[in-house]
Amino acid sequence: MPVEPLPNGSLSTGPLSRDTRPAEPPPAGSPPVVPTPAAGPDLRASGLRLAYDSRLVVDGLDLVVPPGRITAIVGANACGKSTLLRALARLLAPRAGSVELDGRTLHSLPSRELAQRLGILPQSPVAPEGLTVVDLVNRGRSPHQTWWRQWSRADEQAVRQALAATGMTEHADRPVDELSGGQRQRAWIAMAVAQGTEVLLLDEPTTYLDLAHQIDVLDLVTDLNRREDRTIVMVLHDLNQACRYADHVVAMKSGRIAAEGAPAEVITEKTVADVFDLNCRITTDPVSGTPLVIPMGRHHGTPSPETPARTVDGGAPTTG
């Protein structure tokens, strides 16, 4: 029997009836593109109120996700970023308001249809012990399985292309739990790519990764967006990475949107002070040309006249 999507549209990790051996790699020089629908999806939230039991987390939130773009949601801890993402994925039912995809509320969509159009990669997902990369990526095809349509050549091609697009073809037979942090995240993204959705939601995809692997994952996300016009929404903590990789930034504070728009419009000294309670200076990233946030802190600002500057080994004064 094929694996059914769970009621919330996410994927089961049960077995699929198929040959799990990795497919042959595509011919040399062929672009690793996973086809997705051409029309941009209209994903939006209106009057959204979200809560856990009696604790209100998001209230009165309106959001229109730009189709075919990368949107980064930023904000202080516990401001509602991940909660909003869960609602956009139908993993959390709103107390009031609605989330719509192309004019239809998410809760009116059959689970299989939703899973074919919208995918989510939660924070720090865990694969069953011993599961290989190709087995994991194969699970991305479960929304496309039915009792009369099981594993097909199209599924095999989607998995092959997803592995190639994420640079995981050579690791296809390795157990996921033996991969490095960056490789593991690539494997999970490959599963989401194989799912073939037009919307991909990522909850802190760089968590627990070192800087090199963070950049590697964000470059991969950008590749997926630019190659396929895939709509991507991701929660990020690093403001400079949000500015560099996102087309649209949503800054949240206390369950509401404090500012949204292009990175240069949102990430200002005033907004950072308001949303993060942090004084900073904004300059231009010499690599990307996007805003670069330089936090002030209490020990690295310009010393006041009554505070003598420290010296290092009797040399020049320092303000560090």
> Among candidates 10, 11, 40, 189, which has minimal Cα distance to 101?
40
Average of per-residue pLDDT across 268-293: 96
Average of per-residue pLDDT across 154-166: 93
Can you tell me the distance from the alpha carbon of 183 to that of 133, in angstroms, rounded to the nearest whole number? 10
Task: Answer whether residue 179 shows pLDDT above 80.
Answer: yes
Greater model confidence, 267 or 36? 267
Amino acid identity of residue 225, one-letter, is N
For residue range 97-122, list pLDDT tens digits in order.
Answer: 999 999 999 999 999 999 999 999 99
Can you tell me the distance from the alpha carbon of 159 to that of 145, in angstroms, rounded to the nearest whole number? 14
Average of per-residue pLDDT across 150-157: 88
Tallying the residues shown for the chain, one arrives at 320
Which CATH fold topology does 43-272 show?
Answer: Rossmann fold (3.40.50)
Average of per-residue pLDDT across 224-246: 96
Specify the pLDDT at position 5.
Answer: 41
At 1, the pLDDT band (50, 70, 90 cuts) reads very low
Instruction: Tell me 202's DSSP state.
Output: E
Angle at 113 between CA 111 and CA 114, to 5 degrees: 65
Specify the pLDDT at position 57.
Answer: 96
Backbone φ, ψ for residue 206 (5° rounding): -105, 5
Average of per-residue pLDDT across 24-36: 47
Average confidence score pLDDT of the chain: 85
- Report the percent of the chain where pLDDT is more than 90: 71
